[in-house]
């Protein structure tokens, strides 16, 4: 187990050493600077608009600590079953563990029973800075249990759940949802109800539940909602480059932008976006930070995962991060075969340092 303080310091050094490519641009208005872009979710200060998304199987302690040191101002746990928490399932409780190096952190729960959701929220309240309700997950198993995205069809139950969770805890409660179920755009209804009930922020992924991850995220409706609500609205979906992030923040009333798939094994994108928003230089997005830097990133990521999860589980989870980091590199296919056979830390380190 690496001392978490030392680990955090190493990640911070790595972030400082990231060789982002920038160029001078015309002086910007103050509006561009991060300090002008901070906001509150309830009483929790969010120091800039960059938010690392909840990603099941990915947004664990390691992912969140890296996100923090590369610029994200708010992190999320993956969605956790409210039943699992209520019945003290070990895995569910483990997912809700948050260290001091990844705060503020929102813990996200899902379920369909208002009482169970309230009980789960109470149990995790002490560990969370914010409690988030999942109202967008499109996975079949979740929809079958009338949770996640199903709540966009069952708006009455969605309201009962929001009311019950808000009534059970004193931490801010937020909702992450989508545009609607299928043809309808009933997020507008949920958005207004959420604000009236006391929800502290709303995150909208610009796709409908039935779309899954197909097509492109559409922020048109989210922009309307952001302009009409008093609570902060966060945009999610397909944000994968600094200029896109810039445009969204500048042309709408959204308070935050959430980044998910684009930072899997590529936390440096957060830094690109951060630098672009916070300086008089424009980040022109160095997508490849150089192989030496990537090796250090992978080495540290591996040691961090293992320090949280042990070698057996850590190596198995690290395989996918290693594989994502090779996207677009020569020889990636042959390397991936070896990655998925990795069994221990010394094999993994040898393979990392053999990347050409």
Hey, which residues are catalytic here? 137
Nearest residue to ligand FMN, scored by beta-carbon proximity = 260
| CA–CA distances in Å: residue 139 to residues 44, 81, 241 | 30, 13, 27
Q: How far is the CB of 138 from ligand FMN (least distance, A)?
A: 9
Helix, strand, coil percentages (3-state) for the chain, rounded to 5, are 50, 15, 35
152 binds ligand FMN (CB under 6 A): no
Q: What is the CA radius of gyration of the chain?
A: 20
Instruction: Closer to ligand FMN by CB, 81 or 304: give it.
Output: 81
205 binds ligand FMN (CB under 6 A): yes
56 binds ligand FMN (CB under 6 A): yes
124 binds ligand FMN (CB under 6 A): no
- Rounded distance between C-alpha atoms, residue 76 and residue 98, angstroms: 10
The binder of ligand FMN chosen from 261, 295, 316, 320 (CB under 6 A): 261
The binder of ligand FMN chosen from 104, 260, 289, 314 (CB under 6 A): 260
The binder of ligand FMN chosen from 237, 242, 256, 314 (CB under 6 A): 237
Q: Are 227 and 285 in contact (CB under 8 A)?
A: no
DSSP string, 180-238: -SSS--THHHHHHHHHHHT--EEEEESS-GGGTT-S----HHHHHHHHH-SS-EEEESS
Query: Near ligand FMN by CB under 6 A, which window of 17-25, 52-60, 218-226, 341-349?
Result: 52-60
From the list 36, 49, 66, the residue with the least C-alpha distance to 304 is 66
The binder of ligand FMN chosen from 15, 81, 106, 134 (CB under 6 A): 134
Q: How far is the CB of 57 from ligand FMN (least distance, A)?
A: 6
- Rounded distance between C-alpha atoms, residue 282 and residue 242, angstroms: 9
Query: Near ligand FMN by CB under 6 A, which window of 16-24, 150-158, 260-268, 307-315?
Result: 260-268
Number of residues that bind ligand FMN (CB under 6 A): 20
The binder of ligand FMN chosen from 49, 50, 54, 252 (CB under 6 A): 54
Residue 110's SS3 state is: strand
User: How is residue 263 annotated by DSSP?
Assistant: G
321 binds ligand FMN (CB under 6 A): no
108 binds ligand FMN (CB under 6 A): yes
82 binds ligand FMN (CB under 6 A): no
Q: How far is the CB of 275 from ligand FMN (least distance, A)?
A: 19
The binder of ligand FMN chosen from 20, 44, 53, 131 (CB under 6 A): 53
CA dihedral of 285, 61, 74, 47, whole degrees rounded to 10:
-80
Q: Are 80 and 263 in contact (CB under 8 A)?
A: no
Query: Near ligand FMN by CB under 6 A, which window of 4-12, 237-245, 294-302, 322-330?
Result: 237-245
| CA–CA distances in Å: residue 197 to residues 118, 129, 134, 191, 221 | 15, 19, 16, 10, 21
Q: Which stretches of the chain bind ligand FMN, using CB under 6 A?
A: 53-56, 78-79, 108, 134, 136-137, 176, 205, 236-239, 259-262
């Amino acid at each position: 187990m690496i001392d978490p303080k030392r680990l955090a310091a190493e990640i911070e050094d790595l972030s400082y050493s990231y060789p982002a490519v920038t160029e001078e641009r015309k002086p910007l208005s103050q509006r561009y600077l991060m300090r002008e872009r901070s906001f509150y979710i309830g009483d929790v200060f969010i120091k800039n608009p960059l938010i690392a998304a909840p990603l099941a199987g990915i947004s664990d302690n390691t992912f969140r600590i890296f996100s923090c040191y590369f610029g994200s101002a708010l992190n999320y746990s993956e969605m956790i079953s409210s039943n699992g928490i209520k019945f003290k399932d070990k895995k569910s409780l483990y997912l809700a563990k948050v260290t001091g190096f990844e705060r503020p952190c929102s813990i996200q729960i899902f379920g369909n029973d208002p009482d169970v959701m309230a009980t789960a929220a109470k149990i995790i309240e002490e560990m969370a800075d914010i409690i988030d309700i999942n109202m967008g997950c499109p996975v079949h198993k979740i929809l079958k249990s009338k949770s996640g995205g199903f709540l966009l069809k069952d708006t009455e139950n969605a309201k009962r759940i929001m009311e019950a969770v808000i009534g059970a805890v004193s931490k801010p409660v937020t909702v992450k949802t989508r545009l609607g179920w299928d043809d309808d755009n009933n997020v507008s209804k949920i958005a207004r109800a959420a604000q009236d009930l006391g929800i502290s922020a709303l995150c909208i992924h610009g796709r409908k539940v039935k779309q899954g991850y197909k097509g492109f995220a559409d922020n048109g409706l989210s922009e309307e909602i952001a302009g009409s609500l008093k609570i902060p609205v966060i945009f999610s979906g397909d944000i994968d480059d600094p200029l896109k992030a810039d445009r969204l923040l500048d042309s709408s009333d959204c308070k935050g932008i959430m980044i998910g798939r684009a930072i899997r094994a590529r936390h440096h994108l957060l830094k690109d976006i951060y630098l672009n928003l916070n300086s008089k230089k424009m980040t022109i997005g160095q997508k490849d930070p150089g192989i030496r830097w990537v090796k250090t990133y992978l080495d540290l990521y591996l040691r961090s995962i293992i320090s949280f999860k042990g070698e057996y589980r850590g190596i198995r989870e690290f395989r996918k991060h290693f594989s994502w980091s090779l996207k677009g590199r020569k020889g990636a296919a042959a390397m991936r075969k070896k990655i998925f056979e990795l069994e221990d830390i010394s094999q993994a380190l040898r393979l990392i340092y053999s990347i050409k």
